[in-house]
Structure 1
């Protein structure tokens, strides 16, 4: 045995010498996304759940992905249209996935509350898009409108730092900040004329049907500016700087926070409970500003 090993040694050394300086094989090209744009279903918790998928027209898979969450009583189709994220995101090289809440439900189930496991569903949805070769596991984001905005903020902790950035529109103050949050960039939008989720805090649904107003008396929201300040403290941000973006639009920005994240709040004077669009109130393009913020994020997460 020893003689055979010694006789083989020169060949082993020669092979090592020949291969040590060899050029490594080229990396495999990214796999093509196995899904097509449009409506899809995903079984979770014993129920078929649906989602709308928008993909970039050019290139192959492994794009950054954004969860686009609709509000209370709304649906995926309305959120896709009103947010403009599917069209704007596809042009910018993002996968935009707009999921539908469970059947016979009016709202997402916040983490820790009774109802369908929406946190599990959204986590499985991201995992599926990664497994199908569509989404980059290291660049995952969420945006949402109203209660969907609240759900996006709740996912900051519920997904244990998986999301690199979130963008709540008209709902930053729907859920209280979680002290254990990992560094996460936040870009928020809110109108001072919002009476559904009041900018100054207090009871929501001030002009909604009486049943909702009765339920709303059990809820008292923090002010939007107060919620932004608490999130900024959790993210380890220094004092903010306030600038005028245009007439009636103010930006309060906290920069140089932990691990390079930032917190930004766009306050839109007089705007109600709406998703800001370039053709609407104050001509603020929320979709474009959200994607700008996501483009600039240096903290990457995922699995």
Structure 2
């Protein structure tokens, strides 16, 4: 699957217009017994059975508003691979960084794309699947409806970008890790906060217009001129010498761990 990363310039118009000091917006499920549990779930959307996994924090409190984080898998991936790790750190490495256990994680399963599961989003079907999940989760759990996020690697990043385009008033921010315009962009004219990272050596979804820099590290570039509370972070990187360019957890040269989980978590957790 070859595609150019040609959405960075467009991201400048997708900056979130936030209101300073915005209060939490509790979902209908707050202060009620939970009707959604940590488990595998299914629902029917547009005549198709769709699956997703819910991960609740320990000691879930029905009176506490939680942030909701959707984590989309890559092509040839699955929800179970995000949960169990291997190719990627479990849950993209975020739960250990969530010291206050403030997040509920949702891991959806893509549809068959002809031998692998993906996010083709034909006729907006995956966006509508996400809509249905959000409705179920808001009714069954206590969620801060102002703190809904999406993230993913590769195809999962493409799906997160499609949600940024289609549902900018639902999602507070998205994290696009090695993605591209591969799941569509219905809408795409309203602003939303975004984190985008991409390898200069990505041969699967090549970066467009990247400028080379010192090998072995990443750069966190915070765009200036954004509205207060509405950041756009761009992270080009040219990682360790054995970095193949298209991986969910790239490392700087000599580093023991990837910079991606901390970058993603810090970007999301700034919104509260």
Whether TM exceeds 0.5 here: the answer is yes
User: In the TM superposition, what is the alpha-carbon distance from 1:175 to its structure 2 partner?
Assistant: 6.7
Q: Distance in 1 between matches of 2:91 and 2:172?
A: 17
What residue in structure 2 maps to residue 95 of structure 1?
104
Q: How does 1:57-206 map to 2 (within 5 A)?
A: 57-61=58-62, 62-80=65-83, 81=85, 82-85=88-91, 88-89=94-95, 92-103=101-112, 106-110=117-121, 113-114=122-123, 117-172=125-180, 174=182, 180-199=188-207, 201=208
Q: CA deviation at 1:173?
A: 5.5
Q: C-alpha displacement at 1:126, in angstroms?
A: 1.2
SS of the aligned residue for 1:258 comes to: coil
Match of 2:32, SS state, is coil
Give the alignment partner of residue 293 of structure 1, picking from 243, 267, 270.
Answer: 267
Partner secondary structure for residue 33 of structure 1: coil
Change (3 A) 1:193 1:87: closer
Deviation at 1:108, TM superposition (A): 1.1
Q: Supply the distance in 1 between the matched residues of 2:148 and 2:198 (Cα, whole angstroms).
A: 23
Query: How many corresponding residue pairs?
Result: 228
User: Residues 98-141 of structure 1: CA distance to partner in whole angstroms, max 9, x if unpaired?
Assistant: 1001246542133xx44x71110011111111010243222101
* 1:273 matches 2:242: no
Q: Which whole-Å deviations, capped at 9, do the CAs of 1:134-178 have from their partners, x for residues lacking one?
A: 432221010011011111111112114211100011115657878
How far, CA to CA, are the matches of 1:103 and 1:274 in structure 2? 22
Alpha-carbon distance in 2 for matches of 1:79, 1:281? 25
Q: Conserved in 1, the CA contact under 8 Å of 2:52 and 2:108?
A: yes
Larger relative contact order, structure 1 or 2 (CA cutoff 8 Å, min sep 6): 2
Structure 1 residues 175 and 125: alpha-carbon distance in aligned structure 2, compared to 1, 3 A threshold: closer
In structure 2, list runs of 5 or more residues that go unmatched.
Answer: 1-28
The structure 2 residue matched to 1:261, chosen from 230, 242, 249, is 230
> Highest Rg: 1 or 2?
1
Conserved? CA contact 1:256–1:262, under 8 Å: no
2:219 is equivalent to residue 250 of structure 1: yes
RMSD across aligned positions (CA): 3.2
1:42 partner SS: strand
Q: Is the 8 A contact 2:53 2:107 kept in 1?
A: yes
> TM-score with structure 1 length normalisation?
0.65
What stretches of structure 1 of length at least 5 have no aligned partner?
A: 1-27, 202-222, 226-242, 299-303
Quote the residue 1:44 is aligned against.
Answer: 45
Q: Residues 172-197 of structure 1, C-alpha deviation per residue, up to 9 Å, x if partnerless?
A: 56578788533321112222221111
**C-alpha distance in 1 between matches for 2:221 and 2:252:** 23
- Whichever structure has more helix as a proportion of its residues is 1
Q: Distance in 2 between matches of 1:258 and 1:94?
A: 25
Secondary structure in 2 aligned to 1:109? coil
